[in-house]
Amino acid sequence: MVRITSEPIVPAQVYDLISPQGAGSVLLHFAVVKPQAGAGGTTSYIDYGTRGDSEAELRAIAEELADRYSLVDTLLIRRTGRLGLGEIISLAAASSPNSADAFEACRQGIQRLRTMKTIIKNEVCGGVVS
């Protein structure tokens, strides 16, 4: 499953979105907005937007992970909108019969979520867009 959403990602609810049937390992990774010092000061918030078909890009990532690793299921969620410090930006999750494939698929999913071409990021540091 893939999802682009402006709604908060609620950790207590996402486990129910990925199938654990036949899996010996279910791994979930949440990326959060972190305070980062820049030329304009420390991060205040980040505005995320989309250009193009972000869900199609997410589906392509999920399909690549499924082709490459032994997975029962994958879940990729990407937030849009204004996110403050500590808010969840994205989720990469994988369930697999074995932990090695779950960890590697999740790691690859995280990297791919960070470099999505259809996501626009405007980081605001101390009131200055960077």
Retrieve residue 119's tokens.
């996501």
Question: Judging by beta carbons within 10 Å of its beta carbon (0-12, 13-18, 19+), is residue 29 exposed, middle or buried?
Answer: middle
| Domain 2-31+55-117 CATH class label | alpha beta
pLDDT in tens, 40-54: 678 889 999 999 999
- The pLDDT tens digits of the residues spanning 4-40 come to 999 999 999 999 999 888 889 999 999 999 887 666 6
Locate all alpha helices (DSSP H) within 25-98, ordered by sequence.
Answer: 54-68
Q: In the prediction, which pLDDT does 126 show?
A: 74
Residues with Cβ within 8 Å of 24's Cβ and at least 6 positions away in sequence, in order, are 96, 97, 98, 99
pLDDT of residue 125 exceeding 90, the answer is: no
Question: What pTM, to 2 d.p., does this model score?
Answer: 0.89
